[in-house]
Structure 1
Amino acid sequence: MLAHDEKRDYIRMEVDCDITYKPANSQDSKTGRCTTLSGAGVSFLADQPFDAGLAMEVSIIPKTSITPPMTAFIEVVRSVKRDDNQYEIAASIKSIKGS
């Protein structure tokens, strides 16, 4: 049996790919960097903070065409300012948008 210290329901994967994001009620999307992804959540780097509870739409764009892009509806959990004046946005995935 494999043992690990992960207490989450889903394993978090480190990723490094583009992500587009926008508040759910907006047409103005921006591009950031997706940093982690799991079955329940996502984190990404943005140029501004977002309030916890904000509903957003994100599209994760993999670096290779082998993996298709994923569009999801998320809810912001927290925004943390980094030393490089970017914000790490952590969010829970509420649903995956169908094609």
Structure 2
Amino acid sequence: MRGQEILPSIAWAPDTDPATIRQIEDAILALDARAHGNGQRVLHPLEADRRLAAFIAKHGSAAAAARALDISRGTLYDMQCGRRKLSPRVQAAIGLRRIPPQPERYEEI
């Protein structure tokens, strides 16, 4: 069983610290990457969401972040909500790259 298959099957206690969950998920994915020989740090899709939110916060607003990315606010909102995949420009801005052919798997760049 691969790490991405294991993560959804974990039943976390309601009071589990989100940082602890993230650390454990990252450790599972790191072990999976090493076991399968690619050596890349594979990130959970939620990490892309976290990084996009941090990018927006760093710019002060979604409108300012969209201007910095040279995209519309609507396009940025669609990416935040999952209606659109992160474009290569947005991926680069938040320090990620999509791992083909996996549409929702990213690695750090």
TM-score (norm 2): 0.28
The structure with the greater share of residues assigned to strand is 1
Higher-Rg member (1/2): 2
TM norm structure 1: 0.29
